[in-house]
Structure 1
């Protein structure tokens, strides 16, 4: 039975990202190209791309990227709603894991790569986050967070369960590109070993050891 890592690329598309919209879309296209042209990785890491602002949009549902011709364009604008994002993620994981198992795949714990340049604009997001990473829910994911721009380290320390990367002052566009490269390197390393591996060397980012990991 083939092993599969459900992977969620969850990216901030709020109004603060509007000046960087073209670079965001170009960077996501590069991620798609690199996955689609590496069959070993795309077969192992099934990927969903989710953009969040005031609302949450599933840009690409869980897919083998080799089968996706192109990514739709992400349009930036609105607030930074963490709570809605975590609620939607939980729904997606529930559905996607079931569907992947129906394809006779052996499914690893999902991985969420959470990229943001700002603080949450909703006050009760932590309730939604607790439901997402509840150890009583068998499908609770690993969360790898990348913060840049005006993202708050103390907030992301509450979000990251597997690894945290904080930009060291690099401009948003460089940091975004580096974060996607780090994500891609993690997926390549994971596909080579058949289990979750994090690429901890990410240009322009400080790797922060996550003090408390959730028990698998």
Structure 2
């Protein structure tokens, strides 16, 4: 049975990202290209891309990126709604894990790569997050967070369950590109071993070890 890592790239597309929209889309296109041209990785790491602001958009549903012709364009604008995002990703995981198992795949614990340049604009987002990572839910995911721009470390320390990366003052566009490179390196390393191998050396970011509060 083939191993599969359900991977969620959850990326901030709020108003603060509008000046960087071109780089955001170029970076996502690079992510798509690197996965689509590396069949070993794209078969192992099935990917769903989610862009969030006031609304949550599933840009690409759970897919083998080799089968996706191109990355759709993301339009930035709106608030930074964490809670709505975590609710939607939980729904996706519930459906995606079932679908992947129906394809005969041996499904590893889902992993969320959460990229943001700002803090949440909704007050009760923690309620949705607790449901997402509730260890009584058999499909609760790992969360690896990358914060840059105006993102707050103390907030992301509440979000990251596996690893946290905080930009050291690099500009948003450089940080975004480096975060995607780190994400790619993690997926490449993990595909070789069949288990999560986090690339901790990400240019322009400080790696913060996260206490394992959640049981695998």
Q: TM class by shorter-chain length?
A: over 0.9
Deviation string 1:100-129 (CA, Å, 9 cap, x unpaired) is 000000000000000000000000000000
8 Å contact from structure 1 (residues 147, 156) kept in 2 = yes
Structure 1 residue ranges (4+ consecutive) displaced by more than 4 angstroms after TM superposition: none
Deviation string 1:126-164 (CA, Å, 9 cap, x unpaired) is 000000000000000000000000000000000000000
* Structure 1 residue 10 displacement after superposition: 0.1
SS of aligned partner of 2:74: coil
**2:116 corresponding residue in structure 1:** 116
**2:215 corresponding residue in structure 1:** 215
Distance in 1, matches of 2:198 and 2:53, equals 26
| Mapping 1:198-213, distance limit 5 Å | 198-213=198-213
**1:148 corresponding residue in structure 2:** 148
* Structure 1 residue 212 displacement after superposition: 3.4
* Structure 1 residue 196 displacement after superposition: 1.0
**2:96 corresponding residue in structure 1:** 96
| Mapping 1:24-43, distance limit 5 Å | 24-43=24-43
**2:52 corresponding residue in structure 1:** 52
* Structure 1 residue 213 displacement after superposition: 3.4
* Structure 1 residue 195 displacement after superposition: 0.7
8 Å contact from structure 1 (residues 162, 213) kept in 2 = no
> Residue 83 in 1 paired to residue 77 in 2?
no
**1:6 corresponding residue in structure 2:** 6
| Mapping 1:189-200, distance limit 5 Å | 189-200=189-200
* Structure 1 residue 197 displacement after superposition: 1.1
Q: Report how many residues are paired.
A: 216
Distance in 2, matches of 1:195 and 1:60, equals 24
Q: CA RMSD in A?
A: 0.4
TM-score by length of 2: 0.99
* Structure 1 residue 214 displacement after superposition: 1.0
Deviation string 1:14-71 (CA, Å, 9 cap, x unpaired) is 0000000000000000000000000000000000000000000000000000000001
* Structure 1 residue 206 displacement after superposition: 0.0
SS of aligned partner of 2:5: strand
SS of aligned partner of 1:18: helix
**1:178 corresponding residue in structure 2:** 178
SS of aligned partner of 1:50: strand
> Residue 22 in 1 paired to residue 12 in 2?
no
Uncovered stretches (5+) of structure 1, i.e. residues with no partner: none
Distance in 2, matches of 1:97 and 1:201, equals 30
Distance in 2, matches of 1:105 and 1:195, equals 15
